[in-house]
């Protein structure tokens, strides 16, 4: 067959990956999620070398390269470090609009991302000014918690 005989568009064969994983959360994040679920508190782990309080907690400090040991409660208030507001739909992701922010909770060294709710997002410029870096938020805990990052969200103060 030469190319000129081909009258139809090249064929497309479809395929899908449906692969289930059971991710080990690890002891450190497990403790974080259980404390979040059962007591409505956010905790970080302190690096014994640089004294940084890592939130989300990590079992190690990647800069000092030592294991972390001590738990420290942080927040529930904190300061916005970075944010965005999503206005266009992405494949397989939530319906827009929604806002996410990285927040350094009081007492923490690193920032933790979560959704920002209870905020009118209809005007991007107005909402962006409210979410400006340096503004203060508080963590609000869901009534029914399952031990996941979405057990809390941020709300402007």
Rounded to an integer, what distance in angstroms lies between the CA atom of residue 54 and that of residue 92?
30
CA dist., res. 60 & res. 118, Å (int): 34
Stretch that binds another protein, among 14-22, 34-42, 69-77, 138-146 (CB under 8 A): 14-22
Q: Does 2 bind another protein (CB under 8 A)?
A: no
Strand partners of residue 46: 53, 70
65 touches another protein by CB under 8 A: no
- Out of 36, 43, 104, 139, name the contact with another protein by CB under 8 A: 104
Chosen residue from 60, 71, 98, 141 binding another protein by CB under 8 A: 98
Task: Determine if 36 is a binding residue for another protein (CB under 8 A).
Answer: no
**Options 5, 8, 27, 88; binder of another protein; rule CB under 8 A:** 88
The distance of closest approach from Cβ of residue 41 to another protein in the complex, given in angstroms and rounded to an integer, is 17
68 counts as binding another protein under rule CB under 8 A: no
Asked whether 81 and 133 are in contact (CB, 8 A), the reply is yes
3-class SS of residue 61: strand
Binding to another protein (CB under 8 A): which residues in 42-61?
52, 54, 56, 58
Helix (H, G, I), strand (E, B) or coil at 52: coil
Q: Quick check: 44 and 57 in contact, CB under 8 A?
A: yes
- 53-54 and 136-141 strand pairing: unpaired
The four Cα atoms 141, 154, 108, 106 give a dihedral, to 10 degrees, of -90
Interacting residues toward another protein by CB under 8 A: 9-10, 12, 15, 17, 21, 23, 25, 29, 52, 54, 56, 58, 63, 81-88, 90-94, 98, 100, 102, 104, 108-115, 124, 127-128, 131, 133, 148-150
């Amino acid at each position: 067959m030469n190319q000129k005989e081909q009258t139809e568009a090249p064929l497309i064969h479809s395929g899908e990956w449906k692969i289930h994983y059971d991710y080990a959360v690890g002891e450190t994040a497990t403790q974080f999620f259980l404390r979040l679920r059962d007591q409505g508190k956010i905790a970080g782990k302190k690096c014994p070398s640089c004294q940084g309080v890592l939130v989300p907690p990590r079992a190690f400090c990647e800069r000092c390269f030592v294991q972390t040991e001590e738990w420290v409660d942080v927040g529930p208030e904190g300061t916005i470090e970075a944010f965005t507001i999503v206005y266009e739909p992405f494949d397989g992701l939530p319906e827009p609009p929604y806002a996410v922010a990285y927040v350094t909770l009081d007492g923490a060294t690193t920032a933790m991302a979560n959704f920002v709710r209870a905020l009118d997002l209809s005007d991007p410029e107005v909402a962006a000014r409210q979410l400006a870096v340096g503004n203060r938020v508080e963590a609000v805990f869901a009534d029914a918690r399952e031990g996941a990052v979405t057990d809390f969200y941020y709300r402007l103060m």
